[in-house]
Amino acid sequence: MALIEVRDLRKDYTLGKTVIHALRGLSFAIEKGDFVAVMGPSGCGKSTLLNMVGCIDMPTAGSVSLEGRNLSALSDDQLAEIRLGRIGFIFQSFNLIPVLTIAQNIEFPLILARAPRKERRSRVREVIEMVGLTEYAVHRPDELSGGQRQRVAIARALVNRPSIVIADEPTANLDSGNGDAILSAMQDLNRQHAVTLIFSTHNPETVRYARRIIRLRDGVMVEDAPTTRSA
């Protein structure tokens, strides 16, 4: 059984009297431990697709299943439990809380999950060391560079030990050096910890870090193939 299975996935949005067909019948499967780049120009449906897979939004038609469970059939509480415990999210805008320290930002999902204090501290130390930011634990986000803040976002996404990490344009606001470092860190997570990674991008240079590319155009999948090279 595939970890994630997408079947004839469709998503429409209504703006006034206009219906926008954001996704037009996508079908594919993602196996445990896969590393997938979803690529295409702005407006092609990348973020919409990631929101469907990440239990943030529901389809107009078709289905997304996680280990055989149709997400559309689950309650809001069940979906929230999956988002909190099974899926880690990395956003291009970082979404860090400015008044909290780096360690507190990383710890926040564990507080929501009501993890014991001792376990929270241990996990925060583990992931903050993993992304190389131990010395910045008491700093606040505005004291860090863009690349460092994205590393904090990665650590926060991993602190609940999710089986899936979804990253929406994770390098869009970074220079090429920091962008490569972030994708290299994600590649290491995939190789060393078997975390299933799905990231969106419009930049063909970033695709080399993934093992598979799903290319979208106008809400339609035009390619699903292994990448030709890796970093």
108-144 tens-digit pLDDT: 999 988 999 999 999 999 999 988 899 999 999 999 9
22-34 tens-digit pLDDT: 999 999 999 999 9
Share of the chain above pLDDT 70, in %: 99
Q: Are 105 and 143 in contact (CB under 8 A)?
A: no
Domain boundaries, the chain: 35-55+74-213
Place of tokens 């690349």: 147
- CATH 3.40.50.300 assigned to domain 35-55+74-213? The reply is yes
What is the SS3 assignment for 131-199?
CCCHHHCCCCHHHCCHHHHHHHHHHHHHCCCCCEEEEECCCCCCCHHHHHHHHHHHHHHHHHHCCEEEE
Q: Are 225 and 211 in contact (CB under 8 A)?
A: no
Of 79, 54, 85, 64, nearest to 163 by C-alpha is 85
Return the C-alpha torsion angle 43, 47, 52, 53, nearest 10: 130
54-72 tens-digit pLDDT: 999 999 999 999 999 999 9
Q: What angle do CA 219, 225, 226 make, to 5 degrees?
A: 135
